[in-house]
Every structure is written in C-alpha cells, then in structure tokens.
Amino acid sequence: MDIKDFKKISDVLWELPKTFRKDMRAAARVYATDEMLKDMMKDRSLQQLVNTATLPGIVGSAMVMPDAHEGYGFPIGGVVATKFPDGIISPGGVGYDINCGVRLIKTEMHFDDLRPEAESLGRQLFHAVPSGVGRGGTLKLGIGEMDKVLKLGAKWMVREGYGTGDDLEHIESGGCLSNADCDVVSDHAKKRGADQLGTMGAGNHFVEVDRVESVFDEETARAFGIFEGQIVVLIHMGSRGLGHQIATDHIRTVLKAMPKYGITLPDNELACVPLSSNEGTDYYNAMAAGANFAWANRQMITHEVRRAWETVFGTGAGRLDILYDVAHNMAKIENHSVGGIVQKLIVHRKGATRSFGPGHPDIPSEFREVGQPVLIPGSMGTASYILAGTEKSMLESFGSCCHGAGRKMSRHAALKEVEGRELREQLDLSGIHIESGSMRGLAEEAPLAYKDVDEVCEVVERAGIARKVARLKPVIVVKG
C-alpha cells in the first residue's frame, strides 16, 4: 500500500477505492493529513481498514479517524456500518473493553481556587478510586445484584443512591441499553466483574482533573455550561474484566458459527455473523449488558469523585454535574441517511465516538441547538478537548468522529524511552500532579507514546465532522 493508491477527496479526507482489492465490498476512507496517513502505514491499521471493507452487508465506506492505530481485527478509530437486520455484527468491531468511554463532570470552581488543594485532592481521588489490574472496589455484587446492573446499568446505580435522575439525562442512551440480556453473559464474566464497580483498572484509564484553558465557541460553551478557568473532571474507563470476558466468550462462539453462514474473512479477528442469527443476537444482547456495566462503573466512580470533592472542599463547594458521557467501543442500531434514503443500520465504533449534530432526538434537549458534546482525551501531559457534533458528521461518517489522541508507540517501546519516576517529576515541574500505583504503567502511558491531540482534533474540525468548543489542560492525573 502506498499513498499514491489513495484518492484525495479533501485536504484531510482520503479514499481507497473498492477496486484496490478484489474482496472489498466498499471503499475505505481515512481522515488524516498527508503526514498522518504516511504514519498510519507504519503499522497494520490501514491493512485492517481494508479488511473491514470486505465485511458482508457493509454500507457506505469503511473508515478510520485521525487517531487510528492497529487493533484487534478492526483498527482502533474504525467505523463500519452494516445493513439491519441481516448485515453482520462483529465483536472485534467493538473490542474487548465494551463501552470504554469518557465522562466529563463540571464543577463551579475556578482553577485559582483549586490550586492550593491540588495535591490533597489528588491523594483523595487516588484512595477513593481503586486502580490497577484486577483490583476490586468496595461494592461487592451478588449474582442477583449483578443481573440488575447488567440489565439496568446506570439506572440501577441511581436507584441505589449513587446519583440522580439528572445524571441519567446526560449519559448516552440514558446509561442503559434496553436489549441487555444477563442470561447470555457467562457466570465467569459475572464473577470477574463482581467487585469491579467503581474501579479504574490499568492501561490508559484515568480520573483527571482539568482546567478549561481556552474556549473556541462561546455560544456552544454557554450551552454546555463551560467557561475559561473552570475546573472539570474527566473519567475514562469501561467494563473491566466483565467486558473482556464477554468478548472472549462470544468471539469463540462466533468463530465456530461463521461456516454455517458461509462467511469467509481475510482475518479471523474480524469474526462475525449476521445480527439476525442466534449467535449475532446473543452477542449483541451480551454486549449491551457489558455496556450497561461500564455505565454503572462510571456512575459509581462519579459518586466516589463527588465524595472526595466534598472531603477536600466541604459541602459548600458547589455542584458536580455531568456534562455528558460518551461511549467509544460499541455497536448500535441507528438511523442514518445513505444516498438520501434513511436506513436502519448496525454502526460499529471501535475507538470512535458518536458525534450527533444539532436537532438529533437522541441528545439532551439543552444541546439540540448546538449538537452533542464530544469528549476527546489526550495524553496526561498535553491536553484534552470538548467538541460538538455536526450535521456533516451525520451525512458523512455515520455521526462519528475520533475518540482520543491515539497511540503512535507501543507500550513496550514507550518503556524503552522513558522511566516512570522521571516522567512523574517532569510532569510535576510542569504543574501536573500525578498519582499512580505503578511507575511502569505510568511510563507506558507517557505523552510521547501518543499522537498530537491538537492535530487530531484539528483534522476532525477541518473535515467538518466535529467542531472545537474548548481545550482542557490537566492539573491532577490519577492512574493505575
């Protein structure tokens, strides 16, 4: 594959025609600058993109966002839509961390008021939110309670006193997918998740306290309740061991079932079956249960953040309200216009986030005039962004955009370049307080391991599939 194989549609959109390879059923599109596209050729992400263009029932184009990098089957940053109900559904198009996502909590506090208590708040958050591989939390679920969480998601958490109804209004899908079926989730998966609500895990997951450094769109920022100097909290994690086990269980089942449906693929990691099949329906309903668990997890962590905030600042420090919670590992049934005709589709977003435009009925009413909040975390030493969805994203990218900065270096490679304690000292000197239980894990997530989040967000804005609202700078980072 060479850059000459791509047709340049705009300055940040490229297309590989479906004639590039005989088995392609659709074209493949890449949102990227020239340099980004060249960099993507250094791993298998573009080969994986081409492979996704071979999937049965694909509609429109397979595409990747500017944060793309190599993943399991599908590239991270990939978006693929298939026909409903007989198009395929693929666990690899969702990933192992089902409904890994980002939540932003707004505070009423200005950075100047937080600064004297930054270290104290960092320590309090680190103790409040358990982190690390396999680490459990304070809430232990019996099987009956677990089934309720899998069925009701964040709704169950609110019923149990871990939030309010207003929280649910500001979560994608209200924090609950109604098709969830706990009976197609294995006992092993349930046991793995039994003590993991309210926990962070490891890897690129975090709780981060940020200040709003810049506002680009005053009107949309007002609608979002965002102002310069404001302190906000970002939460990034997903369905933990439960989601991983759901993926493991159903990938095995789907692989065995493919011959029955006459499906052959260039990569077994793309394992898929028709959504209308028993195996497809079971996976979709198990995935929904995993998604509900992830929303419950972020809801529990929100509760823990609020408690930590009150411990440090007292009861008079103001409200902590959710701006929005967005998923970026999900397959969802949605309506989209294709060739001027509205169709029901199965939209896979693997390391890509929803970016619904103004007027869409699935976003909170107070955002309908400006579009859905889109949350893009960067690396712990750089910046994150609040964007807004656009009408163009609905027409061009199935209402999708990037989900983060995107890795450009493996964890192993990052360990060769940086030492955790030294990195923590460097970040501390730049005004970023770090709390981490693992210096190795900190090094693996070093800023140098990630693409430039400013460039990534610039690309999606230039493409018109999201627009910048505000830029955030980290103040406190809590990691596993």
Q: How do residues 57-85 score in pLDDT, each as one tens digit?
A: 999 999 999 999 999 999 999 999 999 99
Say yes or no to pLDDT of 133 above 70: no
Q: Give 398's DSSP letter.
A: S
Q: Which has the closest alpha carbon to 445: 480, 402, 403?
A: 480
How confident is residue 5, by pLDDT bands cut at 50, 70 and 90?
A: very high
Q: What pLDDT was estimated at residue 1?
A: 85
Say yes or no to pLDDT of 474 above 70: yes
Any domain includes 244 = yes
Residues of the chain above pLDDT 90, percent: 86
The 10s digit of each residue's pLDDT in 273-318 is 999 999 999 999 999 999 999 999 999 999 999 999 999 999 888 9
Any domain includes 424 = no
- Burial annotation 398-423 (CB, 10 A radius, 16+ → b, else e): bbbbbbbbbbbbebeebbeebebeeb
List Cα–Cα distances, 254 to 90, 131, 160, 178, 182, in angstroms.
8, 32, 36, 23, 18
Say yes or no to pLDDT of 138 above 80: no
- 3-state SS assignment for residue 14: strand
Per-residue DSSP letters for 428-477?
HHTT-EEEES-HHHHHHT-GGGB--HHHHHHHHHHHTSEEEEEEEEEEEE
- 3-state SS assignment for residue 234: strand
How confident is residue 137, by pLDDT bands cut at 50, 70 and 90?
A: low
Strands 206-215 vs 466-479: parallel, antiparallel or unpaired: antiparallel
| C-alpha angle 218-219-225 in degrees, rounded to nearest 5 | 80
According to DSSP, the residues that pair with 186 across neighbouring strands are none
Which residues belong to the active site?
A: 403
Any domain includes 414 = no
Q: What pLDDT was estimated at residue 281?
A: 98
Q: Which has the closest alpha carbon to 477: 131, 180, 226, 107?
A: 131
pLDDT, average across residues 350-357:
98
Q: What pLDDT was estimated at residue 315?
A: 86
The 10s digit of each residue's pLDDT in 42-53 is 999 999 999 999
Any domain includes 90 = yes
- Which residues have C-beta within 8 Å of that of residue 446, sequence separation ≥ 6? 379, 381, 414, 417, 418, 423
Any domain includes 437 = no
Q: What pLDDT was estimated at residue 134?
A: 60
Any domain includes 418 = no
CATH of the domain at 55: 3.90.1860.10
Length of the chain, please? 480
List Cα–Cα distances, 32 to 35, 44, 327, in angstroms.
8, 16, 22
Any domain includes 440 = no
| pTM of the predicted model as reported, rounded to 2 decimal places | 0.96
Q: What pLDDT was estimated at residue 87?
A: 96
Instruction: Provide the angle, in degrees to the nearest 10, between the axes of the packed helices 240-257 and 278-313.
Output: 170
CA distance linking residue 177 with residue 239, whole number of Å: 14
pLDDT, average across residues 323-345:
96
Give the structural domain span for 66. 3-408+450-479
- 3-state SS assignment for residue 76: strand
Q: What pLDDT was estimated at residue 380?
A: 87
Say yes or no to pLDDT of 325 above 80: yes
Q: What is the residue-averaged pLDDT of the chain? A: 95
The 10s digit of each residue's pLDDT in 356-408 is 999 999 999 999 999 999 999 998 889 999 999 999 999 999 999 999 999 88
Tally of domains within the chain: 1
**193 burial class (0-12, 13-18, 19+ CB within 10 angstroms)?**
buried
